[in-house]
Amino acid sequence: MRRTKKERQIQLQETIADNPFITDEELAEQFQVSVQTIRLDRMELSIPELRERIKHVAEERLTNEVRSLPIEEVIGDVVDIELDKSAISIFDVKREHVFTRNGIARGHHVFAQANSLAVAVINDELALTAKANIRFKRSVYEGERVVAKAKVIDIQAANDRTIVEVNSYVGQELVFQGEFTMYRSNMTTGDEG
Amino acid sequence: MRRTKKERQIQLQETIADNPFITDEELAEQFQVSVQTIRLDRMELSIPELRERIKHVAEERLTNEVRSLPIEEVIGDVVDIELDKSAISIFDVKREHVFTRNGIARGHHVFAQANSLAVAVINDELALTAKANIRFKRSVYEGERVVAKAKVIDIQAANDRTIVEVNSYVGQELVFQGEFTMYRSNMTTGDEG
DNA sequence: CCGATATTAGGACTAGGTACTAACAGTAGT
DNA sequence: ACTACTGTTAGTACCTAGTCCTAATATCGG
C-alpha cells in the first residue's frame, strides 16, 4: 500500500470531482495501483464510469441553458393593479430561481419582479427604467412566496419621469426595497424596465 | 430510397443538432436505412460519433468554469476574471430577452448580467447583493452584445462589505452603470446577488 | 503463523463505435 | 445489352472504456 485505502479513496473522489474526464487507467497510473483497484474503489464510492460522468455533465449543461429569466412580460402574477397608483404581484420562488449551493434566491429574480411591476403600473405605452436604488433586506429561499407592492410616488409630467417605490415581502417581513425612476412614452433615453 | 440522400443528410444534421445524444442505431431506425448508411452520412458530413459529441458538449460547459461560482449561475459568458479585482462578461441580447413590442432589452437582463458578474468577482464562498445603485443609460436592442466590466472598488474587511462597480457597454457606448454593495461569506443579512 | 482485508490478474461480455472489403441494386451513357 | 457509377447494405476485425465475475496473491493485525 502506497497509502491506506481510505486516503486513496478520498483523493480519488477529489480527483474525479475536479476532472470528471479522467479514465481509470490514468487514475491507476496516478495512484500507482492497478486499474482493478481503481474500479473497486469506484464501486465502493458509487462513482459512475467515465462515459456516464461525461454524459451527466453534458446533460446538466443542456438542461441549465434554458433557465435564465422567463419570457413573460411580467415576472410574477399581478393580482391587483390601479394604473399610475399602485400594484401588487406575487412570485413563488422555485428551484430554478435559487443558487443550488445554498437555496437562496438569486437577487435578479427578486429585482425582476419588482422592476417589472414598476413597469406595469405605469399607465403609458412605453415605460423604461432609468434609475433604481435597491436594497436586499434579507435572503429569500426556495418555497417562499414574495409579494411585491408598488406605489407611484411622484409623477412629474414636465420631464416624463415617474418615481415608483416597490416593497417586497415574505409574509410580514420586508425582503426587498426599491425606488425606481421610470421614463415614459416618447422619451429617447433610458432603458426598459 | 425513402427520400434522396441529400434530403436525408440535411434532416440528419438537424436531428443530431437538436439531440446530440442520439445513437446511429436510433437514427437508422428513424430514417429507415441501415446503420452503415447513417455512418457513411456522418462521415460525409463530418459529424463525430455519439461519444465525441457528448464529450464536446460536456467540455464546453467545463471550460467556462469560474472558481467561486458554477458557470451556469452567471448570466452571460465570463471571458476574463481576476478574483477580488475585476471581471468581464459578454451577453448577447436575443429575442427572448426583449420586449416583443419594441425589441428593447428588458432591464432586468442587463441588471442580471451586471449583478451576477458582481457576485462572480467576489473571491468568497458566499456573496450576496445588499444594495445596488443602478442607472440605465440607453436602451439595448435585440442582436446587440453587452460587455459588462466589473471593478472591485473597496474591500472593507471590517464589515464584510465589498463595493463593486459595473459598467456595461455596447461597443464604445455606456449603456448601464451600477454600484453594488456586496456582503460576503458569513454575513447574516442581505440577499443574494 | 493464521485469518481477514486489500490488491491484482484474467476471461467473458457490452455499447457504440472505426476502418475496411465486398456484394448488390438501380440508373445513365454509349 | 453492356458498362460505369452511385448508393446502400452486410460482414469482419478492431477499438475504448468499461462491467461482472472468479481466482490467486499480498499484506497487515493480532
Q: What is the pLDDT of residue A78?
A: 80
Say if B100 falls within a structural domain.
Answer: yes
Q: What is the pLDDT of residue A189?
A: 37
Distance from residue B130 (CA) to nucleotide C13 (C1'), in Å?
59
Residues B27, B75: one domain? no
Predicted local confidence at residue A190, as pLDDT: 40
CATH number (domain holding residue A45): 1.10.10.10
Question: Looking at the structure, do residues A149 and A83 belong to the same domain, yes or no?
Answer: yes
Q: Which domain holds residue A158?
A: 77-184
Give the total number of structural domains in chain A.
2
Nearest nucleotide to B43, CA against C1' atoms: C18
The dihedral sign for the CA sequence A191, A130, B89, A64: negative
How far is it, in rounded angstroms, from Cα B165 to Cα B181? 9
Q: Residue B191 and residue B54: Cα distance in Å, rounded?
A: 37
Could you give the residue ranges of the DSSP H alpha helices within chain B? 5-18, 24-31, 35-44, 50-63, 107-121
B91 and B178 belong to one structural domain:
yes
- A191 domain residue, yes or no: no
Residues B132 and B54 in one domain: no
Same domain, A124 and A39: no
Does a structural domain hold residue A98? Answer: yes
Q: Which of A39, A64, A89 is the last residue of a domain?
A: A64
Smallest CA-to-CA distance from B93 within B102, B84, B85, B81 is with B102
Any domain includes B24? yes
Helix ranges (H only) for B64-164 are 107-121
Q: Tell me the backbone φ, ψ of residue B152, rounded to 5 degrees.
A: -80, 120
User: Are B117 and B74 part of one and the same domain?
Assistant: yes
Residues A50 and A99 in one domain: no
Predicted local distance difference test score (pLDDT) of residue B191: 44
Calculate how close chain A gets to B80, using CA atoms only, in Å.
Answer: 20
Strand C close to B51 by CB, under 7 A: yes
CATH number of B153's domain: 3.10.129.10
Q: A61, B57: Cβ pair inside 8 Å? A: yes
Model confidence pLDDT, tens digit, residues B52-110: 999 998 887 654 333 333 434 567 777 778 888 888 888 988 887 887 777 888 888 89
pLDDT value of position B73: 56
- pLDDT single digits (tens) A65-121: 333 334 445 677 787 788 888 888 889 998 878 877 778 888 888 998 998 899 888
Is A69 a domain residue? no
Q: Residue B28 above 70 pLDDT?
A: yes
Residue A193 lies in a domain: no
Q: Quick one: cell of B167?
A: 459598467
Q: How many CB pairs under 8 A join A and B?
A: 166
What residues have CB less than 8 Å from A22, skipping those under 6 apart?
A: A15, A16, A50
Cβ distance B134 to A132 less than 8 Å, yes or no, reads yes
Q: Which three cell numbers stand for residue A7?
A: 486516503
pLDDT digits (tens, 9 = 90+) for A8-42: 999 999 999 989 999 999 999 999 999 999 999 99
Q: What is the mean pLDDT of residues B128-148?
A: 89
B30/B76 same-domain check: no
Q: Do B34 and B124 lie in a common domain?
A: no
Interface check for A47 against chain B (CB to CB < 8 A): the answer is no
Closest-CA distance, A21 to chain B, in angstroms, reads: 9
Q: What is the largest CA-CA distance in chain B?
A: 75
Question: Are B107 and A100 a contacting pair at CB < 8 A?
Answer: no
Mean pLDDT of chain B: 83
Residue B189 lies in a domain: no
Instruction: Clarify whether residues B53 and B84 are in a common domain.
Output: no
Shortest CA distance from B67: residue in chain A? A18
Give the percent of chain A with pLDDT over 70. 85
Provide the pLDDT for residue B176.
95
> Which nucleotide is nearest, taking the CA of residue B26 and each C1'?
C16
Q: Which of B19, B44, B61 is the last residue of a domain?
A: B61
Determine the Cα–Cα distance for residues B12 and A141; give it in Å rounded to an integer: 44
Q: Is the pLDDT of residue B138 over 80?
A: yes
Q: Which residue is nearest to nucleotide D10 (CA to C1')?
A: B36
Helices first, then strands: H and E counts in chain B: 5, 6
Are B131 and B45 contained in the same domain? no
**What values do phi and psi take at A190, rounded to 5?**
85, 150
Establish if B145 touches chain A: CB-CB under 8 angstroms.
Answer: no
Check whether residue A89 and residue A171 sit in a common domain.
Answer: yes
